[in-house]
Structure 1
C-alpha cells in the first residue's frame, strides 16, 4: 500500500511570494526592476488582487519592494535593495519576544564589531574617520540628553561597520545594535546621577577606539571594542533581559 502524506497547504499570498522569489533567484528580477501592473500581475499568476496586495505588503515589510500609489512613470511596485531597516525591525521584535537570548545577541555584537573595527583600521579613509570624529564631538556637547547620546552612540558603531568595507557586516551590525538600542538606553538612564561620569568613560573609550583605527591598529581596536561591549553586558541583563551573564567587567561601556 502506498503511504500518503499530507500536502502543504499554503495561503495564496505565500504562493505569490514564492513566485517572486523564484524570479529573483533566477535573475529575472533585479533591484530597480518594476513589477507588472497589479491587474496584469494578478491575472498572470491566477490569484485575486487582494492576495497579490497582501504579498506586496509583506515584501515591503521585509525591505525588498517599494510600492508607489497613483499613476505615472513612478507608480507601481519596484524591487529595491533596502535590508537595513527591515532586518533591524524583525530582529528587535524577535529579541523582545524572546526568540533569541540577550546573551546570544551580545555575543553576535562582539563577533560582528570585532570584525568591523579591525577591518576599518585597514580600509577606512581619513575623510570617513573625520565623519566618525564629528559624531564623537556631538556626543560631547553639553546638555545632550541621554536619548540623544544613545542615538549618536548607535550611529557611531554602525558607521564604523559601514566604513569597514563589508556591506553585509554593516547591515548585520546595524540590525543587532538596533535590537538592543532600547535596553542600552534603559541601562544608561538607570545610572541616574552617575550618568555624567558614565558619559565621560564612554567618550574615553570611543576616542581611543577611533585613535586605534586611525593608527591602523586593528587588533587592538578589536580587543577594545569587545571590552567596550562586554563592559555593559551585566547592566543590560539587569535592566531588560532574561539571559544569564557571567561578565564581571565594568559597566562603563555601550
Structure 2
C-alpha cells in the first residue's frame, strides 16, 4: 500500500514558544505566580531567538496570563498571572467592533448571564457587596450625575452583582459582555430626549433589583433584570435590526 503523505503544518517560531509554555501550564508545571526564566536563559533553552520569545510573551500578556516587569530588581521579568477580566473584555470589544457578533447575539448572551448572576446573588451575595452596590445606586440617583458617569456606575453595578454571585466565570463573562457594549449604551443614553427622566427610570429599576436581592427573591430579580436589559439594550437591537 502506498504511503499517504499529509501536508506538514508550518508554524511561526513564536507560536511554537506559545505551545511550549501552554503545555507546561496544562501539565501543572507552571502555575499562577511562577516566574519564567530570564530571556537570555529561556531563549537558548527553547532554541529560539530572543525576538521570537518576546513576541510570544507579548501575546500571553495580551490575553491576561502573563505580566512582564522590565528592569533588574526582584520583581523584574515575566510572571504567570490570572487576570482574565480585562483581556476578555478587550478581545470581545474588538470582535464586536469587527462584526464577529451581532447586537442581537450580545443582547441574548447578556440576558442569560445576568439572569443567572442576579438569581445566584440573591443566595450568595455578601452584605458588603450589596452595600457597595447600594452606594453606586445612590450616586446614580444624584441630580448632578452626568451621562458618562452614570454609564460607568451602571457598568460597575452590574459587574459587582455578577461578582457577588459566587461564580467567577459568570462574573468575568458578564463584565466582558457589558464592557463590549459600553460605548453603544453611552450613545443611547446621550440620545435620550429627557436625561433626568431616563436616569430616574433606570435607577428606579436598579433600586428594586437591589432590594429583591437583599430579600433573597432571586427569581423576581432575574425577571426584572431581563426587562431592564431589554429596555435599553433592546432598543439598540431594534435600531440596528435583529438578524
Residue 172 of structure 1 aligns with which residue? 173
The Cα offsets for residues 74-109 of structure 1, whole Å up to 9 and x where unpaired, read as 110000000000000000000010101111111110
1:195-214 map, 5 Å: 195-214=195-214
Tell whether the 8 Å contact from 2:67 to 2:81 is kept in structure 1 after alignment: yes
Residue 160 of structure 1 aligns with which residue? 161
The answer to whether structure 1 residue 64 and structure 2 residue 85 are counterparts is no
Residue 226 of structure 1 aligns with which residue? 226
1:95-244 map, 5 Å: 95-192=96-193, 194-237=194-237, 241=240, 243-244=241-242
Residue 14 of structure 1 aligns with which residue? 15
The answer to whether structure 1 residue 29 and structure 2 residue 27 are counterparts is no
What CA distance in whole angstroms lies between the structure 1 residues aligned with 2:3 and 2:102? Answer: 44
Tell whether the 8 Å contact from 2:107 to 2:234 is kept in structure 1 after alignment: no
Which contiguous aligned blocks of 4+ residues in structure 1 show a shift greater than 4 angstroms?
none
What CA distance in whole angstroms lies between the structure 2 residues aligned with 1:234 and 1:124? Answer: 27
Deviates more, 1:73-82 or 1:4-13: 4-13
Tell whether the 8 Å contact from 2:185 to 2:233 is kept in structure 1 after alignment: no
**What is the aligned residue count?**
242
The Cα offsets for residues 155-185 of structure 1, whole Å up to 9 and x where unpaired, read as 0000000011111110010000000111100
The Cα offsets for residues 46-75 of structure 1, whole Å up to 9 and x where unpaired, read as 000000000000111000000000102111
Structure 1 vs Structure 2 CA RMSD = 1.2
- Cα shift at 1:238: 5.3
